[in-house]
Amino acid sequence: MLSRIVTGLIGVVGAAMSLLIAPVACADDGPPNPIAANTSLPNVNVYPPISPVDFSVMDGAWYAFGTPNGLTCVIDKSRNSYGCSGPIPAAPDGANLVSGVGLEQPAFANSAQPLYAVAGPVKQLPPQSRLSYRNVSCAIDVGGATVCVNSSSQHGFMLSPAGSFAA
């Protein structure tokens, strides 16, 4: 009698284990996206920092700059947020806004109006230079791409005609 109970118990445990380690099927998402295949953010800290004083707007609450692609980008000092708005090149779903807050990964969105245009006219960030505030740094790389990275979380975004992404 005891052997039948032990045998039954082993059978139940075995069946439960097979459910826990069963393979999971994944749906095919179609052909690979060549931009998504290389979504590592470049190291913006290789560029020399520039004084943020010339980029101060909104009564000192933001540092804002323009990009070669006509975007307005902002580091919001009070909210620990950063982002760019305007005609984002090769943006997912035609987005015209990308932003991140704190340690979270930035996200793309669509806005009825350029969100950061309220900063007014902004100074262009020189290529191969870096604008930083605390753990957020933004730069225009050698190819003209705009890159912003939060060094604490390693999240950020890259905006380029070759493809724009957040990581």
Give tens-digit pLDDT for 17-39. Answer: 333 333 333 333 333 333 444 57
At residue 151, the pLDDT reads 96
The 3-state DSSP class for residue 18 equals helix
The answer to whether residue 97 scores a pLDDT higher than 80 is yes
| pLDDT score of 22 | 33
Identify the pLDDT of residue 14.
36
Average pLDDT over residues 84-97: 97
Q: Which residue has the tokens 């245009």?
A: 117
State the pTM of this model: 0.77
